[in-house]
Amino acid sequence: MKKGRFQVLTDAREIELSPLIDMVFILLIFFIVTTVFVDESGFETAQSRPAMNPEEEKPPVVFVLRSNGSIEFDGRTISLSGVGTHIRSLVRRGEQPVIIQIQKGARSGLAVQVMDQARLAGAAIVNFSGLDG
Q: How far, in Å, CA of 85 to CA of 92, rounded?
A: 13
Task: Return the DSSP state at 54.
Answer: G
DSSP-based three-state secondary structure for 56: helix
Share of the chain above pLDDT 70, in %: 74
Q: What are phi and psi of 11, to 5 degrees?
A: -90, 105
Q: Are 80 and 100 in contact (CB under 8 A)?
A: no
Chain centre to alpha carbon of residue 63: 26
Q: Tell me, what's the pLDDT at 80?
A: 87
Burial class (CB in 10 A: 0-12, 13-18, 19+), 106: buried
**Gap between the terminal Cα atoms of the chain:** 107
Lowest mean pLDDT among 39-43, 107-111, 114-118: 39-43
* Run of H or E residues at 20: helix 18-34
Q: What pLDDT, in 10s, does the model give residues 25-74?
A: 999 999 988 887 776 666 666 676 665 565 566 788 889 998 898 999 88
Residue 106: the pLDDT is: 87
Q: What is the CA radius of gyration of the chain?
A: 37
Q: What is the pLDDT of residues 11-27, one digit of tens each?
A: 667 778 888 899 999 99
Render pLDDT for 85-100 as a digit per residue (tens, 0 to 9): 888 887 765 578 888 9
User: In the predicted model, what is the mean pLDDT of residues 99-111?
Assistant: 88
Query: What structural domains does the chain harbor?
Result: 55-131 (3.30.420)
On whether the pTM is more than 0.85, the answer is no
